Structure 1
Amino acid sequence: MTALKRYERLEGPGVWREHAGAQRRNVILSFGDASLVVSDTAERVLTHWSLAAIERLNPGESPALYAPGEASDETLEIDESLMIEAIEAVRTAVARGRPHPGRVRLAAFAAIAAGLAALAVFWLPGALVRHAVSVVPDPVRAEIGRDLLGRVTRVAGQPCARPGGMAALDRLSRRLLPGREARIVVLPGGMPRAAHLPGGLILLNRALVEDYEDASAVAGFVLAEAARADANDPLAVLLHAAGPMATLKLLTSGTLPERALEEHARTLLTVPPTPVSDAALIARFAEAGVPSSPYAYALDVSGEDVLGLIEADPLRDRPVRPVLSDGDWVQLQAICDP
């Protein structure tokens, strides 16, 4: 035991009592190999006390009173300061080496708490959103989309609904997004050029249908929004922003908090759209049979920032089937007219 090295030859006087009813005896104390040796004045060994088990009965008092263990009534009274120092040094070393169940429990609890906190912060929100996205039925998605649209229209105005233009929009949707539950809505202004909502809603600013010579550029914006919705489920985007409590409310009641819907509607009107890779867009244009160049030039009239969409146009130098007939395009351009 390291604590013993400086006290290996230490001896000193003490007063020993074998049990509570025994007479007190003057004894000689010396350090043995991991034990305190108690001898009488004739140097006959009376007992050995294990250094690891010694207990002090009167901390801070003098003379010091020790016992060989908690359950023993055998005692030693020591007035020699160096001997007391030696015994206390050994007791301290032994205490340090003992296991501390309370500390272990505290450390284990802290580790568990940290793990649970990490799960709550990093894993639980994503898991909740993934579960919600997988179980929320289409009618609820559509209802959320309509609710968001109602909030967007407070800023962007009511959807344009001239009958001929509405019919042209339906044909545009069937042409570009066959087999999908999609609805294209044209809004008078106050919004980005295009956006999308849960439930298959794609929003277009009226400028897109009024500022171009044919429907190819408009078609590009519709296809780009469809690609964004496929890459990042719009309901998942909404729930990630709304937070775990809003997601739980949706799972338990089928509705979202008003505040979450209001904030997401504001985001749709102010935050730039997420980028879509040129490869994903080109594939979408090729599948729909729509040239990508008109959309590219609508994004950047110089073409410098959209060279990938121009040079990889899937219908470049090939016959192009019109996106809409001339009559439908004229009707669509007038959809916001009184």
Structure 2
Amino acid sequence: MTALTRYERLESPGLWRETAQAQRRDVILSFGDASLVISDTAERVLTHWSLAAIARINPGRMPALYTPDPDGDETLEVDEPVMIEAIEAVRAAIARERPRAGRLRLVLLGLFTAGFAALALFWLPGALARHAVTVVPVSVRAEIGRDVLARITRINGPACHARDGVAALERLTARVLPETGAQVVVLSGGTGRAAHLPGGLILLNRALVEDHEDPAVAAGFILAESARAARNDPLAELLRTAGPLATLRLLTSGRLPDAALEAHAKTVLNATPRPLPQDAALLARFAAAQLSSVPYAYALDASGESVLPLIEADPMRGRNVPQVLSDGDWIRLQGICGP
């Protein structure tokens, strides 16, 4: 300790009293290892006081009066200014180094608060969303999808609903995604080529049925969008942007705030679809649906350069491809957005 090192050779006289009934004795004071040594005039050690335990009984008054135990009767009277300064310096140094319960509590509270804030900020939103995705029933997902679709059509015009065309679209959906419960909707405006919503809703731009001669193009986009939804759960995507409060409301009430639905509708309309890997998993879906991947590939890129895996590894190459849709149904589907 720096303060003790400065005063370790210092000695001074003092008056020591062991008990309240004892006579005061002339003593010599000096510093030992972590203690104040009290000796008689013949230099016989009478006692050691722990420097950490010394307390001053009469702050600011002279002569200074010290005790090793505030509840005891043992006292030491010192009137030598240099020794008083030394004792006070050592006591102050020890007090600075002594752990402070209040400060420790503040540090622990700060660490706890920071940890809780980090938990709430980084872990809790994701954990809530993951939990919601696993427990929200299919019926609630479908309702959320319909709510978002209603807002999309309010912004960019109604879904195409010519009766014969809707029936043909249902047959195309059953051909491409049998027994999945998926529903495909053709939009009169908005969205790019295709998008998906919670509840198995797949959205197609009207251009996919009006600007192509082969129903396999629309079928390929339906299949690909289903694969994209399988890779990134649409409800999880919605909750990621809606935030933890909206997620908590969904868990407690089964509904999402209107603001969250409105924001997601705009996101779906404006977002660029994430690229879908042209890998074996996607080709396996085309094979399972008995669809050629070539019409879809050329609809993505007329040059074929960026979609070579879909063209060269077409799972239906050299095989008889079942009819995607009858000519009559294809004509009716192309008129789904008609008057």
Change (3 A) 1:266 1:58: farther
* 1:329 match: 330
Aligned to 2:257: 257
- 207-216 vs 67-76, which moves further: 67-76
Aligned to 1:216: 216
Q: Output the TM-score relative to the length of structure 2.
A: 0.91
Secondary structure, in 3 states, of the residue corresponding to 1:290? coil
2:175: which partner in 1? 175
Q: Which AA in structure 2 matches 1:192?
A: G
Q: Which residue of 1 aligns with 2:131?
A: 131
**Which residue of 2 is the match for residue 244 of structure 1?**
244
What's 1:189 paired with? 189
CA–CA separation in structure 1 for the residues paired with 2:63 and 2:205: 94
1:165-195 Cα offsets, whole Å, 9 max, x none, are 1111111011010111111111111221111
In the aligned structure 2, how far is the partner of 1:127 from the partner of 1:216? 40
Q: Residues 108-187 of structure 1 correspond to what in structure 2 (within 5 A)?
A: 108-187=108-187
2-structure distance, mates of 1:290, 1:324: 11
Secondary structure at the counterpart of residue 325 of structure 2? coil
Matches within 5 A, 1:10-89: 10-19=10-19, 26-41=26-41, 43=43, 45-59=45-59, 63-89=63-89
Comparing 167-176 with 48-57, which one deviates more in the overlay? 48-57
1:286 maps to what in 2?
Answer: 287
Deviation string, structure 1 residues 297-328 (Cα, Å, up to 9, x no partner): 11121222222222222223433222111111
SS in 1 for 2:140: helix
After superposing the two structures, state which structure 1 stretch, 43-52 or 141-150, moved more.
43-52
1:302 corresponds to:
303
Question: For 1:259-315, what per-residue CA distance to the aligned partner results, in whole angstroms no more than 9, with x for missing partners?
Answer: 000000000000111222111322221211111121111112122222222222222
Distance between the aligned counterparts of 1:190 and 1:43, measured in 2?
101
Q: Which moved more, 1:177-186 or 1:102-111?
A: 102-111
CA distance in 1 between counterparts of 2:65 and 2:306 reads 89
Task: Give the counterpart letter for 1:287 in structure 2.
Answer: A
Give CA deviations for 1:147-177 in whole Å, capped at 9, x if unaligned: 1111000122111111221111111011010
> Partners in 1 of 2:284 and 2:269 — Cα distance?
28
Matches within 5 A, 1:93-108: 93-108=93-108
Deviates more, 1:237-246 or 1:291-300: 291-300
Identical amino acids, percent of aligned pairs? 68
Q: Quote the Cα distance in structure 2 between the aligned partners of 1:152 and 1:170.
A: 21
Structure 2 SS opposite 1:285: helix
User: Counterpart amino acid of 1:132?
Assistant: A
Partner SS state of residue 141, structure 1:
helix
Matches of 2:62 and 2:334 in 1, distance apart? 103
Q: Which moved more, 1:145-154 or 1:108-117?
A: 108-117
Deviates more, 1:158-167 or 1:17-26: 17-26
Aligned to 2:312: 311
Flag the 1:167–1:3 CA change in 2: closer, same or farther, 3 A: same
- Counterpart amino acid of 1:229? A
Matched residue SS, 1:278:
coil
Of stretches 98-107 and 127-136 in structure 1, the one that deviates more from structure 2 is: 98-107
Q: CA deviation at 1:119?
A: 2.0
Describe the SS at the equivalent of 2:37. Answer: strand
C-alpha displacement of 1:28:
2.3
Amino acid across the alignment from 1:171: R
The alignment partner of 1:49 has SS state of strand
Runs of 4+ in structure 1 off by over 6 angstroms are none
Q: Distance in 2 between matches of 1:13 and 1:32?
A: 16
Report how far residue 230 of structure 1 moved: 1.0
Q: CA deviation at 1:201?
A: 1.0
TM-score (norm 1): 0.91
Question: What is the Cα deviation at residue 74 of structure 1?
Answer: 3.0
Q: CA separation in 2, counterparts of 1:335 and 1:262?
A: 26
- CA offset digits 1:72-105 (Å, max 9, x no partner): 3433333434323432343244335544333333
- With 3-12 and 222-231 compared, the bigger mean Cα shift is at 3-12
> Which amino acid counterpart does residue 327 of structure 1 have in structure 2?
G
Which moves more between the two structures, 159-168 or 306-315?
306-315
Moved more, 12-21 or 326-335: 12-21
The size of the alignment, in residue pairs, is 338
